[in-house]
Amino acid sequence: MSVRISDNTLEVFNPATGEELSSLTITSHSDLDSILIKSKEAAESYNYSSFFKRQQLMTQFSKGIVRNMDEFVEIVCSETGKKSVEGLMEVFISLEHITQSLNHHYEALGKKSRRVGILKTRKAWIEYEAMGVAGIISPWNFPLILTASPLVEAILAGNTVVLKPSEQTPLTTQLLKKVWDEATGETELFQPVYGAGDLGNAIVCSQNTDVICFTGSTAVGRKIAEVCAPIFKPVILELGGKDPMIVLEDADIDRSVEAAIWGGLSNAGQTCISVERIFVQEKIYSEMVNKLSDAIQQISSGTEDSSVGAISVDTTLEKIKNQIANAKISSEVIEGRRSDGWFIAPTLIVNPPFDAAILQEETFGPVMSIHPFKSILNAVELANMTGYGLSASVFGRNKRNIKYISRRINAGVISINDVLTHYGIADLPFGGIGLSGIGKVHGKEGLRAFSHQKGYISTRIQLKSEFWWYKKSKIFGRYLKKLIKWKYL
Residues serving a catalytic function are 238, 272
Cβ atoms of 80 and 143 within 8 Å: the answer is yes
Sequential DSSP letters for 112-141 = EEE--TT-TTEEEEEEEEE-SEEEEE--SS
202's CB contacts (< 8 A; 6+ apart) are 29, 32
CA distances from 480 to 118, 411, 466, 469, 489 (A): 12, 48, 14, 13, 14
CA distances from 239 to 75, 95, 222, 389 (A): 25, 23, 9, 10
Round to the nearest angstrom and report the end-to-end CA distance of the chain.
74
322's CB contacts (< 8 A; 6+ apart) are 357
Q: How far apart are CA 427 and CA 146, in angstroms?
A: 16
Cβ atoms of 32 and 199 within 8 Å: the answer is yes
Q: How far is CA 38 from the centre of its chain?
A: 27
